[in-house]
Amino acid sequence: MKIYLSKPGIFSAAGKNAQDFWASLIKGDQSGIKRYETFSGSTFFAARIDENTLTPSSGRFDMKIIRIEEAALRQIEDSIEKAKEKYGEKRIAVCVGSCDNGTEFSLAGHKKYFENGAFPEDYSIEMQGADYVSTFISEKYSLSGSVCTFSTACSSSAGAIIKAAELIKSGICDAAVAGGIDIASDTTLDGFASLEAISEKITNPFSKNRSGITLGDGAAFFVLSKEPLDNSFPAITLLGYGESCDAHHMTSPDPSGTGAKKAIEKALANAKITPEKVDYVNLHGTGTKFNDSMEAIAINAVFGNRKVPCSTTKPITGHTLGAAGALELAICQLAITENRGKTAPTLPPQIWDGVFDNDMPKLNFASKNSNLSDNKIKICLSNSFAFGGANACLVIGLETE
């Protein structure tokens, strides 16, 4: 069974819709990343969305994460309504990846508790429920199919998209609203700083000089369905997916790249394609020492001498954690749709200092000067490698006409 993806709904510091987002990626525009001070007094670079650009949400709990989520969802409301008309509200599932449990209300509520000995009257523990990012969608659009939330750190929304496809293939539903949403809250920034994982400068992935991640806000959503919902949009299908769990360490990946390699190989096998068919790889590329090294090893092991064009887009979007899998799948989708009919395709360039780390395999990074005149971008692969070795890989492609 084929699984079709609708156009993406995107909202991030790098762009508030697909068109602006793609333009930022191609330019290598890092202006969405700025330095912020957290409640602890520490300062970090982060790709945060300006709250002045957000409007109050229609949710029961109006907080930044829901305002961002709704801004992305508005862009695919026509696809959601078409799915409801075609299949009925009971046959549409919701699958969302996220790692933030209402930190905005949590911090404010606990501050009042420590000051007054009681939580504010309007505070509810439900605000911090992991399910609310998914429950919000089902309530907003009156969907009564399965509602699932996934929190596997950086692979959360990739896992959500995989589960949405499996629900459709199993016959449990006919369509699903799937994607991810996360924010670089003060709690998240200070938490990653305690792991010594945040770069003092904007992240510099795969460089010999890399020193950590740059976090960011972001959301990306699709409607997945067993039939295309919009004939005016190119027919993009989820060709395959693969998951693995190496469980090497609580926060560090397996340095051998074995778990990442397994996820990529499973995705290609599930898609029934060979590595030679892949036109672009969106790397997980966090800018940390061990992630970049093991991913380069895994890519080299799978693709060998065939130097597939690749890049990590986190120096532009920031690492959006639970939303990263969906946001980067949207990048792959745009790489296909925005290059249709072009004789010289353009890919998101690798933004880094260009200093190769000779301790790991060299990859074929896309650049602003990449010559892709002989390539057609039809099949793309997206990697998501999370804490605990929760690895996920997605493959999408343009349906042959």
Catalytic residue among 95, 99, 148, 154: 154
Catalytic residue among 95, 99, 173, 284: 284
Residues in the chain: 401
Alpha-carbon distances of 293 from 73, 176, 192, 201, 251, rounded to whole Å: 35, 35, 19, 19, 15
- 138's CB contacts (< 8 A; 6+ apart) are 94, 144, 145, 147
Determine whether 319 is an active site residue.
yes
Distance CA 350, CA 360 (A): 17
Distance CA 58, CA 120 (A): 21
Distance CA 26, CA 346 (A): 7
Distance CA 323, CA 306 (A): 30
Determine whether 284 is an active site residue.
yes
Catalytic residue among 319, 332, 380, 393: 319
Determine whether 110 is an active site residue.
no
Owner of token pair 């659009």: 141
- Are the C-beta atoms of residues 145 and 89 closer than 8 Å to each other? yes
Q: Which two tokens stand for residue 156?
A: 């959360």
Active-site residues, by number, are 154, 284, 319
